[in-house]
Structure 1
Amino acid sequence: MRDLTPDERQELRRELGAVAADWAQRLNGSDAEAQPRADHEPSYAVRMRTHLARMAAGEQMRGLLADLVSTSAQEAVQYGAGYPELGAAVGASRQAARKRWPNLPISKRRASEWKQPPGGIGWAGDSHLGYPGGA
């Protein structure tokens, strides 16, 4: 995956702004159209309500996007992703991903793919290490 270019970020910002403005108008109702002024300029109160409605829509979008990210993380894990990949996808470390999604069922198969020490038995314990009394 790659990061968005500055132009792509600006385009996404414009698109999200348009979505927020559309939903703000829905949340605000048709107040702006219901109170037309003679000079066709919206009053300060109408402008304030418009911006507050855009804030409310943006906050709702933030929650929905967080849900989308979490659902995508769960689905990525089902297809074999681990914390390193989840962290990379959101621009964070493996540790940050583990803290953000602590209860994801990271596959035991994935853990078995991690590099094992010689003999595959762990660093302590068996007689091949030369310790007395090893089994």
Structure 2
Amino acid sequence: MRDLTPDERQELRRELSAVAADWALRLKDSDLDSQRRADHEPNSAERMRTHLARMAAGEQMRTILADLVSASADEAVQHGAGYPELGAAVGASRQAARKRWPNLSISKRRASEWKQPPGGIGWAGDSHL
């Protein structure tokens, strides 16, 4: 996987900004006063409400995107990815990925793959002093 180019990053930013603005309009109070003010030059209070609505929409988007990233991480694990691959996908270390997604089935899967020593865990064999 590659990082976004600066132009791609700017394009994605514009697209996300448009989505946030659209959802902000949906979230904003749609009373008659707001509709009337939209026909004229918006005043400071209306601009403030618009920006606050964009913030609210953006925060909701952040939560949804975080859920999507976590779901994708879980799917990737089901198809064989480990913490090193998850970390690389988000530009982080294996340890950071493990901290970010501690409850993924990687640990359980890997633990079941470990070979146990002949006497089981804690077996030290014969010791002769």
TM over 0.5: yes
Match of 1:4, SS state, is: coil
Change (3 A) 1:9 1:111: farther
Cα separation, 2, equivalents of 1:10 and 1:110: 45
Q: TM-score, normalised on structure 1?
A: 0.77
Cα separation, 2, equivalents of 1:10 and 1:111: 44
Cα separation, 1, equivalents of 2:112 and 2:30: 54
In the TM superposition, what are the counterparts of 1:36-55 in structure 2 within 5 Å?
A: 40-55=40-55
What is the deviation of 1:108?
Answer: 2.7
- 2:74 alignment partner in structure 1: 74
- 1:61 alignment partner in structure 2: 61
Work out which of the two has the higher radius of gyration on C-alpha atoms and give 1 or 2. Answer: 1
Q: Do the aligned residues in 2 keep the contact of 1:20 with 1:58 (CA within 8 Å)?
A: yes
- 1:33 alignment partner in structure 2: 35
- Counterpart of 1:51, as a letter, is H
Q: Do the aligned residues in 2 keep the contact of 1:84 with 1:97 (CA within 8 Å)?
A: yes
What is the deviation of 1:33?
Answer: 1.9
- Percent of aligned pairs with the same residue? 74
**Number of matched residues?**
117
Match of 2:3, SS state, is: coil
Match of 2:20, SS state, is: helix
Structure 1: segments with no counterpart, 5+ residues = 113-124
Q: Calculate the aligned-residue CA RMSD, in Å.
A: 2.4
- Counterpart of 1:73, as a letter, is A
The one-character-per-residue Cα deviations of 1:96-127 (angstroms, maximum 9, x if unpaired) are 00011111111339966xxxxxxxxxxxx67x
